[in-house]
């Protein structure tokens, strides 16, 4: 795969430009004001024999997944509020009993998001009388999202080391000798890519479970069945959860590691490879799927909170109100059944563009 990228740098072969059209690489480089690369000794081999492509995909995924971690905390806080849950389990002293840094950060974000909620204050006494504790998908959200965060930071350390590495073969050593080595093998990067696909699938899974609770009258604490405007007639958000379920099932399949698969080539000389490119390509699908699942949870929780407050976001916490207000700029509030796909796509764009996080942080300050 690196050979295809290197060819484009030389101004040869086809490339896809911003418009999506396929053009000759030389023409595309010229239009962009980029001079084609002229190779010198050893540079051709360095461009096509290494981990640069999979490393690039890892760096992009880390950036997107760090944002997804914040979105997961935003969605969780909205769900706690929408389900009339309790914030007590997210107390900092409880998190410090198990001092994983990602867990503490996630819990802190949830507390900041839901702080000052009149909805939760009004429901607190009833919660103590009728609820023993929230379900795992709500109560254990920082543990799952925290593990997700810590896995990202492990992979970021891998990426940092790889960015400082010489990974071509042969290599010119510091003493000037040219020697064969195995630093081009992509195993460390491939493992990191696969790790991220696993945790992306699990974070999406717990998000879908939280969303599902809103739809069941036995578990949603007084909301309409399926969050329907007219229960028994309208479908509400039933199909939105179907969408989540379908995506999560795909993410579970994408979580199967690519790095354990290797087919020998080159007359058995290249008899074990990392499959890091395959891991990177499927991770990109996982990132997209996770963003969509989280966006649907935000959309669903916002509808639930609006139903409880009849659209009066002043009753919600400042953080959750900011998220709902951002959503309501591009989607309508509760009402009769309608085609949900455009609303889901608008929510996805809020997540992928970073606007949802910007709106929330503009209200309550930076999330961790």
215-263 pLDDT per residue, tens: 999 999 999 999 999 998 999 999 999 999 999 999 999 999 999 999 9
CB atoms within 10 A of CB 127: 17
Q: How many domains does the chain have?
A: 2
Picking from 218, 241, 238, the residue whose alpha carbon sits closest to that of residue 229 is 238
Judgement on whether residues 42 and 188 belong to the same structural domain of the protein: no
Span 325-334, pLDDT tens digits: 999 999 998 8
Residues 17 and 89 in one domain: no
20 with 90, same domain: the answer is no
Same domain, 40 and 90: no
In 3D, which of 276, 237, 223, 230 has the Cα closest to residue 1?
A: 276
- pLDDT tens readout for residues 11-23: 999 999 999 999 9
Do 258 and 354 sit in the same domain of this protein? yes
Which CATH number do you get for residue 205?
1.20.200.10
Q: Does one domain contain both 39 and 92?
A: no
**Token code pair at residue 341:** 């796909």
Instruction: Report the mean per-residue pLDDT for the chain.
Output: 95
Are 75 and 154 members of one domain?
yes
* pLDDT at residue 129 tops 80: no
**End of a domain among 15, 33, 48?**
48
Q: What is the pLDDT of residue 50?
A: 87
Instruction: Answer yes or no: do 293 and 146 share one domain.
Output: yes
The set of residues, in sequence order, having a beta carbon less than 8 Å from that of 145 and lying 6+ positions away, is 69, 72, 73, 76, 102, 103, 106, 203, 206
Q: Do residue 121 and residue 24 come from a single domain?
A: no
Residue 38 belongs to domain spanning:
1-48
* 10 and 129 inside one domain: no
Taking the C-alpha atoms of residue 215 and residue 236, their distance in angstroms, rounded to an integer, is 8
pLDDT-wise least confident of 104-108, 273-277, 347-351? 273-277
Same domain, yes or no, for 14 and 110? no
| Domain shared by 131 and 116, yes or no | yes
């Amino acid at each position: 795969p690196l050979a295809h990228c290197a060819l484009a740098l030389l101004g040869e072969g086809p490339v896809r430009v911003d418009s999506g059209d396929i053009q000759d690489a030389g023409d595309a480089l010229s239009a962009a004001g980029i001079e084609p690369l002229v190779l010198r000794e050893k540079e051709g081999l360095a461009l096509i024999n290494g981990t640069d492509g999979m490393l690039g995909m890892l760096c992009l995924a880390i950036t997107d997944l760090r944002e997804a971690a914040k979105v997961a905390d935003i969605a969780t806080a909205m769900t706690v509020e929408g389900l009339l849950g309790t914030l007590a389990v997210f107390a900092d002293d409880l998190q410090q009993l198990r001092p994983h840094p990602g867990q503490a950060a996630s819990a802190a974000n949830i507390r900041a998001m839901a702080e000052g909620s009149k909805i939760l204050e009004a429901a607190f006494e009833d919660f103590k009388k009728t609820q023993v504790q929230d379900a795992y998908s709500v109560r254990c959200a920082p543990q799952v999202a925290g593990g997700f965060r810590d896995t990202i930071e492990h992979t970021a350390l891998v990426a940092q080391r790889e960015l400082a590495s010489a990974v071509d073969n042969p290599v010119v050593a510091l003493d000037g000798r040219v020697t064969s080595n195995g630093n081009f093998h992509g195993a460390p990067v491939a493992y990191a890519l696969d790790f991220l696909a696993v945790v992306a699938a699990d974070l999406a899974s717990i998000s879908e479970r939280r969303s599902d609770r809103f739809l069941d009258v036995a578990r949603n604490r007084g909301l309409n069945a399926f969050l329907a405007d007219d229960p028994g007639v309208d479908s509400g958000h039933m199909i939105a959860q179907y969408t989540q379920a379908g995506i999560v099932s795909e993410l579970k399949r994408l979580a199967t590691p690519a790095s354990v698969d290797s087919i020998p080539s080159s007359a058995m000389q290249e008899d074990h490879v990392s499959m890091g490119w395959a891991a990177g390509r499927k991770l990109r699908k996982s990132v997209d799927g996770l963003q969509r699942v989280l966006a649907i949870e935000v959309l669903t929780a916002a509808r639930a909170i609006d139903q409880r407050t009849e659209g009066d976001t002043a009753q919600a916490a400042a953080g959750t109100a900011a998220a709902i207000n951002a959503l309501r700029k591009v989607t309508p509030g509760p009402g009769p059944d309608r085609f949900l796909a455009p609303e889901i796509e608008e929510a996805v764009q809020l997540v992928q563009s970073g606007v949802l996080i910007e709106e929330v942080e503009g209200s309550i300050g930076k999330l961790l």
